[in-house]
Amino acid sequence: MEHFTIATVAEKSPDFRRVLWTGEHTQLVIMTIPPGGEIGEEVHEGIDQILTFVSGTGEARVAGDKREVVAGDLVVVPSGTKHNFVNTGPNPLVLYTVYGPPEHADQAVHHTKEEADRAEEAGEDEPPTA
């Protein structure tokens, strides 16, 4: 059994992206977006995503709509939907997200967005195959 006190684990991670757990159908990832940073506009084809915000303030940009997000908010991004999340506050924007099916390589850790982008471009951030 995997057990996480997820808000505490997410708050302690300085990494832009850290995959905590990968199953056959879902994946749990924590993210820390620095002040002024963003996830980056993207679309996940065939993958649904649920993001829960732990601390900080930001802006959710989903399917052309914009909305403020704060600790305790949850945003659902259906497969094929253009989205981005931007840190608008002075502190890190911390969240955890569940992908279904997995989106990233099992146990992947990317310390910065730039590192994550390089891994994706190089094909090093592929999810496990069934």
Distance between CA 129 and CA 75 in Å, rounded? 27
127 lies in some domain: no
Cα 123 off chain centre by: 18
Mean of pLDDT values over 42-69: 98
Distance between CA 58 and CA 24 in Å, rounded? 31
14 lies in some domain: yes
129 lies in some domain: no
CA distances from 33 to 69, 95, 118, 121 (A): 13, 8, 17, 20
State pLDDT tens for residues 15-46: 999 999 999 999 999 999 999 999 999 999 99
**Nearby residues of 16 by Cβ (< 8 Å), 6 or more positions away:** 31, 32, 33, 34, 37, 110, 111, 112, 113, 115, 116
Under 8 Å between Cβ of 59 and 67? yes
Mean pLDDT (the chain, rounded): 95
| pLDDT for position 79 | 98
25 lies in some domain: yes
Q: In a 3-state reduction of DSSP, which class is residue 60?
A: strand
Number of domains the chain contains:
1
Determine the Cα angle at 102 with ends 16 and 87, to 5°: 30
Q: Which domain holds residue 87?
A: 6-121
Q: Residue 69's domain is classified under what CATH number?
A: 2.60.120.10
79 lies in some domain: yes
Mean of pLDDT values over 57-73: 98
Global pTM exceeds 0.85: yes
130 lies in some domain: no
What's the start-to-end Cα distance of the chain, in Å? 21
